[in-house]
Homo-oligomer: A and B are copies of this chain.
Amino acid sequence: MAVIKDVARLAGVSVASVSKVLNNAGSVSNKTREKIESAIKELDYIPSTIARSMRTRKTNMIAVVVPDIIDDFFANVFNYIKDAAQNLGYTPILYSIEDNIEMLKNYLGKISLVNFDGAIFCFLDEDEVISNFEKIQMQIPITLFSWNISNVKFSAVVTDVFEGEYKAARYLIEKGEKRIAFVGGPENSRISKQKFDGFAKAMREAGLEIKDDYLFNGHCRYQTGYQAAIRFSRLAEMPTAVVAAGDNFAAGLIKYFTRKGIKVPDDIKVIGFDNIPLASIYEPAISTVSIPIEQMSREAVNLLVNKITGREKANRTIIFKNELLIRNSTDRDILIDFEF
């Protein structure tokens, strides 16, 4: 591996000049620049980003921490973040905590977050770790991708999942449903609680009871929805509608119901959350709450990079609207335009 010194020697100049050409900073005559450039080519020289990082104290890497990368929602979020980051010259490093707060703490505590120029945390602002976040923020900028519309301690892109789930439940209630079940993510996760609270508010307002039997929690996978459906269908009095806090749940629910001859939406309605690609491709297409993850991801990166470069100093929160999308898992006859 050639190093800068080799280039300098071959070009017959000093390392300083080579460095200047590399970073096109400082002044070099055209003649030396050419000599250097051809030496670089000849040697296949690539500057060591490690040595560079050591010297400049920047790595051009950002940490992206998500609850669970197997969940399509976060896979998509990460992908958008990746695109946005790469466009700005940053490499995103993915961390998945697999819905395990201990693992998160572990990352936060011992991982050398120092090696990153910044970090983005997606739906991870649990009370337990907020103080860790503040500590980290003393070292490097962080941005939250979150549900918390009133947070002021961090820069954030947020969408109000409480309100989103409220709208979902409200929709079912207005259609006349009374026995409505809820399938949520891990019980101890903050975002799950937010969604549940939105659901609960709609139920309370309508004077409807929230039965323990109608509640189910688990990782945001098909399986959880499937299991929930098994439980629900064994009840003496089955629910007639389910608010699912994720599209994966919804797909699992529908799968089991359909297998058992329970028709969706005729016998039971199901509504999801997130609007992952699966939601529109599933049959029946899944009604859901859509979150503008592409824009949110892009802005999350912008916010972070602005802080990293010092262009922006104060914390800022950008709020994004979510939207109820009605499809065939709640309404047999809705006609859906597929864009594809």
- Report which A residues bind B (CB closer than 8 A): 1, 46-51, 53-54, 59, 69-70, 72, 75-76, 78-79, 82, 91, 93-94, 96, 110, 112, 114-115, 139, 221-223, 226-227, 251-252, 254-255, 258-259, 277-278, 281-283, 338, 340
Contact = CB atoms under 8 A, between A and B. Distances in A.
Contact of A46 (B54, B110, B258): B110
- Which 9 pairs between the two chains have the least Cβ-Cβ distance? A223-B340, A222-B281, A75-B75, A258-B283, A50-B53, A46-B112, A255-B281, A50-B54, A226-B340
A191 B338 CA distance: 29
A69 B59 contact: no
Interface centre among A91, A94, A254 (most CB of B within 10 A): A94
Contacts of A96: 79, 82
Contacts of A277: 221-222
Contacts of A282: 255, 282-283
A327 to B, nearest CB: 12
Given A75-B75, A283-B283, 7 more contacts: A1-B114, A49-B115, A50-B50, A51-B54, A69-B79, A69-B82, A252-B281
A78 B69 CA distance: 10
Given A79-B96, A340-B226, A139 B1 contact: yes
5 contacts: A48-B115, A69-B78, A223-B340, A255-B282, A259-B283
Contacts of A340: 222-223, 226-227, 252
Contacts of A221: 277
Contacts of A94: 82, 94
A72 B47 CA distance: 35
A19 to B, nearest CB: 16
Contacts of A53: 50
Contacts of A1: 114, 139
A72 B69 contact: no
Contacts of A258: 283
Contact of A93 (B46, B93, B251, B338): B93
A20 B226 CA distance: 53
A125 B78 CA distance: 25
Contacts of A222: 277, 281, 340
A1 B139 CA distance: 8
A91 B59 CA distance: 15
